[in-house]
Structure 1
Amino acid sequence: MTSAKDQNKTPAKTVARDATDYPEVHPGRQHQSQRPAPTLVFLHGGNVGNWSWDPQVLAFGDYNILTLHLPAFGARFEETWDGMESAADDVAALIADEVSEGGVHLVGISLGGVIALHVAARHPELIESLMITGTPVTGVGQAAKAFQRMQLKLIGSEWFWRFQAGAYGMVDDERELFTEHGVKLKPENMRAIMDEMDPGGLPDKLSSYQGPMLALVGSKEPKLVQKSFEALRATLPQAITRVVPGMHHQWNIENPILFNSVLRKWVSETGLHQILVDPQAVKPGRAAKVASEEQEGAAAEGQQPDADKAAPPAQPSSQKKPGKIAGRLDPRRLDPKKFEFMKKPQPPAGKPDKSVDGDN
């Protein structure tokens, strides 16, 4: 017989992550009020499996959590991709099976975000709130399309996935899981997904979803994602769009503490974390970059960011810009001891510097 103490344990804390066999259902701790815990549903991106949500599973033990294996990924990597609508219906079916009361808080990243939009369009009654990040709905250009197709030839190579993991900001075991999962993906499935996503566009009847929505993008992601914000706001007037300073695409792994803070603020009170930046409040280009850097620096120093702070004026064109290498150097990360060799040795006190007289 299972004790009450055992029932209150969060299973995910004792289950090691696996690239293709990570659990889908994570029961939350029982509330003292005996009311069912709310449910979070996480939809992973197009290069990872449901294991990528483990940092969120561990942080939200007070919620019931579903981390689905999307078709063609994770435990379902052998399946054939059958389209966004089919994937959305799969998600809806699992929600209907596992959630007996109330709507869910649906969270999607990248491909998972696109599928989340289709769930909202086809099954709006299942969703209490919607949060997506890194989700492009604007079509890609021919150059980007050609580059994506070229990458399909490398999909079975471990070095390719390790390189991608570094670009996403992954470290340690995430890099290993990412690589282990990536080499199992089928090129024909990835090509079919690209063919469906590349033209862009929003799902039909998306406007039937009337609940709250938050769309995010990392400031270090391709600008294509942020360009999607306008289309989202046009279709869903209630949509809130924000930029996350300093973050790459897979920022739920890159900075799980920040991601979890942003998510908890959203699902608990439909609120916005103070670090988020309104993309409409700053001008694009240099001003937006400066504003994002200021937000990131303030967060690193424990200060409260000021999203309404005006960006400084652009530098005059006559001022010399730093080179590519110099521009990457962060003075806060430099170790002065490493540059001691550049300093000229000082002679002992009271003795002349012989090098001046040319005696050397």
Structure 2
Amino acid sequence: MTAFPEVHRPATATAHRPVVMLHGGNVANWMWEPQLAALRDRTVLTLNLPGFGERVREVWPGLDAVADDVVARATGHGVDGPFDLVGLSLGAVTGLRVLARHPGRVHSAFLTGAPLERPGPGVRLVTRLQMTFWRARWFWRAQAAAFGLPADSRARYVAHGMSIRRETASAMTADVYRGGIPAGVGDYSGPLLVIAGEKDNVAVRRSLTRLGKAAPRAQLRLAPGMHHIWNVEDTTLFNGVLRAWLDGATDPRLVPVPRR
């Protein structure tokens, strides 16, 4: 599989803030390729987290260390001031740690699909099966279909999934399942949009209201008709929502989630 670059710069100089994008679990920074066309006027960092993509041989160091790694890696790529943060799934969970540990580095945050509650029995069963059938190509294909990935995205998902070390996935999954909401995330004072796909699993959707209690300033929304990895499920919708957010607005197609 061809390496996907971490740094994407605009053709001409720009005054816009850089965007740092954090991928989900069992994928890598290439998952953001469909978004780059909508962000041509910005410097975009599609970072690989430890243990994924070109860093597949690295050990998963824990969520706090991964959050620190994100900031250090952004700085190493020349982004030493505030950036706009985008994260999906594992990337959203990591993003919350970045907000809690490095709030001064984040201007705004767009986080979707963050599992912050203990998963239900169905998700735990899938996780156990994943560990059992880690080297089975058919299982990765089944997961790609379950996530609603388009056919042209499934081959890459399967190939990369099978390249990840089982130890990495096991440690990362355990970390996410026990992680919850990091202390201090409510102290982040910048714009925060938290989204779940309308058809995402129950634990992810319930996580919205839980995060809303910890971070009262957060905007809570559902993406209508979407599953978990909706940046490729409906690229046009995702890019439109993301572009509106980076331009200072919340897309009205998103459905507000009542606070309880």
Shorter-chain TM-score tier: over 0.9
Match of 2:172 in 1: 193
- Contact 2:74/2:80 (<8 A) preserved: no
Amino acid at match of 1:156: R
Following superposition, the deviation at residue 162 of structure 1 comes to: 1.3
Mapped pair 1:22 → 2:1: no
In the TM superposition, 1:91-240 aligns within 5 A as 91-100=70-79, 102-141=81-120, 144-240=123-219
Mapped pair 1:277 → 2:255: yes
- Contact 2:100/2:185 (<8 A) preserved: yes
Following superposition, the deviation at residue 230 of structure 1 comes to: 2.0
Amino acid at match of 1:23: P
Following superposition, the deviation at residue 207 of structure 1 comes to: 2.3
> In the TM superposition, what whole-angstrom CA distance separates every residue of 1:193-216 from its partner, at most 9, and x where no partner exists?
121122341112222311110000
Q: Which has the higher contact order (CA 8 A, sep 6+)?
A: 2
Q: 1:52 aligns with which of 31, 51, 57?
A: 31
Could you say what secondary structure the match of 1:198 adopts? helix
> In the TM superposition, what whole-angstrom CA distance separates every residue of 1:45-80 from its partner, at most 9, and x where no partner exists?
002111110011122110100001111111111111
- Contact 2:244/2:250 (<8 A) preserved: yes
> In the TM superposition, what whole-angstrom CA distance separates every residue of 1:133-173 from its partner, at most 9, and x where no partner exists?
11111122456434412321112111111111112222243
Could you tell me how far apart the structure 1 residues matched to 2:78 and 2:110 are?
19
Match of 2:236 in 1: 257
**Unaligned segments of structure 1, at least 5 residues:** 1-17, 284-360
Moved more, 245-254 or 200-209: 200-209
Q: 1:243 aligns with which of 206, 222, 229?
A: 222
Mapped pair 1:41 → 2:12: no
Could you tell me how far apart the structure 1 residues matched to 2:104 and 2:46 are?
20
Following superposition, the deviation at residue 99 of structure 1 comes to: 4.1
Could you say what secondary structure the match of 2:178 adopts? coil
Could you say what secondary structure the match of 2:153 adopts? helix
Could you say what secondary structure the match of 1:183 adopts? helix
> In the TM superposition, what whole-angstrom CA distance separates every residue of 1:174-230 from its partner, at most 9, and x where no partner exists?
111111101111111111112112234111222231111000011111111111112
Following superposition, the deviation at residue 30 of structure 1 comes to: 2.0
Could you tell me how far apart the structure 1 residues matched to 2:195 and 2:125 are?
26
Amino acid at match of 1:86: A
- Contact 2:86/2:110 (<8 A) preserved: yes
Moved more, 258-267 or 140-149: 140-149
Could you say what secondary structure the match of 1:162 adopts? helix
Could you tell me how far apart the structure 2 residues matched to 1:163 and 1:141 are?
19
Following superposition, the deviation at residue 101 of structure 1 comes to: 6.0
- Contact 1:40/1:105 (<8 A) preserved: yes
Could you tell me how far apart the structure 2 residues matched to 1:272 and 1:180 are?
35
Could you tell me how far apart the structure 1 residues matched to 2:212 and 2:245 are?
18
Match of 1:66 in 2: 45
Could you say what secondary structure the match of 2:96 adopts? helix
Moved more, 41-50 or 226-235: 226-235
> In the TM superposition, what whole-angstrom CA distance separates every residue of 1:255-292 from its partner, at most 9, and x where no partner exists?
111101000110111x11121111229x9xxxxxxxxx
TM-score by length of 1: 0.69
Could you tell me how far apart the structure 1 residues matched to 2:125 and 2:33 are?
33
**Unaligned segments of structure 2, at least 5 residues:** none
Match of 1:10 in 2: none
